[in-house]
A and B are shown apart, each in its own frame.
Chain A
Amino acid sequence: MIENNAMLVLAIPIAILIPLSVAFLINAEIRGWRFFRSVFFLPTAVSWVVIGFISVRFFADDGILQHLLNGVGLGSIHPNMLSHERTALIAVMITFIWSMFGTNLIIFLAGMATIDGEIYDAAKVDGAGSWTVMMKITVPLLKRFIQFSAIITLITAFTALFSLIFVMTGGGPGYGTTTLEFFIYEQGFSTGDFGLASTAGVLLFVAVGIVSLIQVRLLRAED
């Protein structure tokens, strides 16, 4: 169970890096960026229950993923991700990354809007390439926003995936996708052990608090 939470942590860097790179693309004054922003942010408006139902159809043995594999001639591979403990968790993580994309993108776009354009012009005059500008100027100036998105992503992973797991896997197979928050629900409301559920609740609060603190400290230490 704690192990599953640790796995979820692994999804966080991916859930940040993808929208961060796309934010760089959109920030390059692309026409119609508002349209893309609306599209990418859309999953935020849709409940985890609905996302879960669709996601089940994607990862199911006869689902969209399998059709895609068949289509590119890899039909011999049957990932059937939802019926194995590890892959079921990975399926949950992929769905999570997909739905966090828009939120983190908005955070990074808001961050980039705070950066003064003159600094880019100055860098260009000094002959800095776009890669250098990105790594030496944009990323350091976005640090506060990256930190914020890391915390939001972590809190979402630990405390907002209940409904997704409820619909996608019900915590299974086995305990494959039973995270701490799902465990609280199971103990309290299926087994009826409110004491254990409350204890696990305190543990969850402490876990979220500690990881947030560590992240803030790590990013501070780099200053």
Chain B
Amino acid sequence: MSSVELGRRVRRHGSRTLIYVVLGVLTVVMLYPFYYMAFNGFRSLDQYYAGSGFSLTSWRGLFQALPVGQELLNSTVITLSAIGLILAVSTTAGYAFAVLRYRFSRLVFLVIIAAMMVPIQSIIAPEFVNLAKVGFINHRYGAILVYAALGAPFATFLMSVYFRRIPEDVIEAALIDGLGYGKIFFRILLPLAVPAMFAIGVLQFIQIWDDLLVGLLFLQTPDVRPITVGLATIPSQHLLDVPLLMAGSLISALPAVIVYLVFQRSLISGLTMGMSK
């Protein structure tokens, strides 16, 4: 080995080590908050101040301070129902925009894309007034509809991008074989769209489960409140009880984190799919 080559190798080795050091530091920065939450959630207030020992005291306190079970159930019902609605709307609408072109379909599609750009805060006040008029406040179905309406435009966009990738020959062949557009959708396109549906489902699960604003405004009574809202509006006497807050944070974060870890691939492919257009 010549000395030049040796030098190069050492240098490359050195820079690789440096990269790992940088990535290691970043890993600590990114993970420390979660470590902090997980550890302190299992301490009593005294143990928290002492910085050692573990107990379930704070969990007992948490269940007394908040109806945790009911709130987790509310979160689950709201999130899954909204995802169901979003998938039903986005697959059918995406199919219509991608395969069945009709008059003004481009225009309607553009309007839907434009709807993606409107921030929720811009429409939240009139939205609230409207839902209050029809008596949908403090009912889970009210929030479900709002979440579905917020999620559907982007999901429709993703689905139409996805359906457009399917070669037209496939659909033409099916038409020649005598399948109707309905059957083509259910028998051919929908099975092909399962990965995209997964991506949308995971994306929306995290978004809806983690959302505060809609739940805070549209679900004000404790019996319909999701866990994120319950935690954010925890009675102020608990705000200094760090272990209790961390226990609550942990249980409210866990479902979305598990979904993220299990379906990470779907999530990332969903995000990049939306980007490539």
Contact = CB atoms under 8 A, between A and B. Distances in A.
Interface of A: 22, 25-26, 28, 30, 36, 38-51, 53-55, 57-58, 64, 98, 101-103, 106-107, 110, 145, 148, 155, 158-159, 162-163, 166-167, 180-181, 184-185, 188-189, 194, 197-198, 201-202, 204-205, 208-209, 212
A189 to B, nearest CB: 6
A209 B117 contact: yes
A25 B256 contact: no
A159 B30 contact: no
B96 interface: no
B34 A42 contact: yes
A57 B242 contact: yes
Contacts of B31: 39, 42
B23 A36 contact: yes
Given A47-B210, A158-B119, A166 B124 contact: no
Given A45-B256, A54-B37, A166 B232 contact: yes
Given A45-B206, A110-B275, A204-B122, 10 more contacts: A30-B19, A30-B20, A39-B27, A47-B252, A106-B272, A148-B275, A166-B216, A185-B121, A189-B128, A201-B122
A37 B264 CA distance: 10
Given A162-B212, A208-B119, A50 B22 contact: no
A189 B129 CA distance: 11
Nearest to A35: B27
A50 B30 contact: no
B111 interface: no
B26 A22 contact: yes
Interface of B: 16, 19-20, 22-23, 26-27, 29-31, 33-34, 36-37, 117-126, 128-129, 206, 209-213, 216-217, 228, 231-232, 242, 245-246, 249, 252-253, 256-257, 259-261, 264, 268, 271-272, 275-276
A26 B27 CA distance: 13
Contacts of A49: 210, 212, 228, 231-232, 249, 252
A209 B37 CA distance: 37
Given A39-B27, A45-B260, A194 B213 contact: no
B129 A194 contact: yes
A213 B212 CA distance: 29
20 contacts: A25-B19, A26-B23, A30-B20, A38-B264, A41-B268, A42-B257, A48-B210, A50-B37, A50-B252, A53-B245, A54-B249, A102-B30, A106-B272, A148-B275, A159-B119, A180-B121, A181-B119, A184-B125, A189-B217, A201-B124
Given A162-B213, A205-B118, A107 B257 contact: no
A163 B264 CA distance: 24
Contacts of A158: 119
Contact of B232 (A40, A42, A163): A163
B27 to A, nearest CB: 5
B120 A159 contact: yes
Among all A-B residue pairs, the 9 with the closest Cβ atoms: A47-B210, A45-B260, A159-B119, A163-B212, A201-B122, A197-B125, A50-B249, A205-B122, A181-B121
Contacts of B16: 28, 30
Contacts of A181: 119, 121
Given A49-B212, A184-B125, A57 B36 contact: yes
Nearest to B248: A53
Contacts of A57: 36, 242
B23 A30 contact: yes
A181 B121 CA distance: 6
A106 B119 contact: no
B213 A163 contact: yes
Contacts of B253: 45-47, 50
Contacts of A40: 26-27, 30
A22 B228 CA distance: 32
A205 B256 contact: no
A28 B22 CA distance: 13
